[in-house]
Structure 1
């Protein structure tokens, strides 16, 4: 049976520390790109950006379901149904291991990676242009 709790998603994507580390690495990558610490050619950058876009698209497709999980389910009106619905709702969004915060963190971690790739691709083009100006164009035989 699939575990759709936050702990289950975190297990699929990594534990809480791994998700936090993913965010830290994404921000470090962005800082490195901004400081000209690395550059990437357009072909490689495009492939990486496509992978990020695909991940964002897949995650955004479930966002409607995530929004539904924020609301208390309609299990019924009796006391037991109301307690069960409140428990279900709390399980989805009660702490940083719950499904909704884990989902949001993973989605947010992709943004700095995308930005870093865009910057790194532009840095590669700029460094390529600088090298061509400095060294000159290759002579044709």
Structure 2
């Protein structure tokens, strides 16, 4: 049984490819989780747009900051995966080596479940969540402003 947490010991390129392939395979196993998060983020955004929830700036800003940081991390990971995924592994011209190289390509680039697709979906989730919080924060500020004007700032 292969051990995916250890890089292939075939030099610098092989180690990067082996580690990258393991990351891609791990990412592809989480497609359902990302799909679920995407659905929830869309619902959160829909709810915020309709006024379904509001949140104060003090409560929202730390979460927004984390979402921005996570988006940056996902972007860096996507760039790293593109570099690793664009390098054909040096596994030889034999049938098994060619099959492994094809599998690595599919794990990185080929549609649903690929590392590239999962990261694209995750970026979208983070963007939708951030947008929802920004909208909810604005709605909260509008609500506070309306309450202040209605009651003249009195407690």
Query: Taking structure 1 as the reference length, what is the TM-score of the superposition?
Result: 0.81
Residues 22 and 126 of structure 1, relative CA distance in 2, 3 Å threshold:
same
Query: Which residue matches 1:121?
Result: 137
Structure 2 runs not aligned, ≥5 long: 6-21
Q: Which residue of 2 aligns with 1:28?
A: 43
1:47 matched to 2:66? The reply is: no
Q: For residue 5 of structure 1, what is the aligned residue in structure 2?
A: 24
Structure 1 gaps of 5+ residues are none
Partner of 2:75: 60
Matched residues in 1 for 2:91 and 2:118: separation? 28
Larger RCO (CA under 8 A, 6+ residues apart) = 1
2:15 maps to which residue? none
Please tell me the root mean square deviation across aligned C-alpha atoms, in Å.
2.2
Secondary structure at 1:4's aligned position in 2?
A: helix
The alpha carbon displacement at 1:16 in A equals 2.8
Note the C-alpha offset of 1:21: 1.4
Runs of 4+ in 1 over 6 A off after TM superposition: none
Instruction: Compute the displacement of 1:38 (Å).
Output: 0.8
Q: How many residues align?
A: 135
Distance in structure 1 (CA, Å) of the matches to 2:40 and 2:100: 39
User: How many Å apart are 1:71 and its aligned residue?
Assistant: 2.4
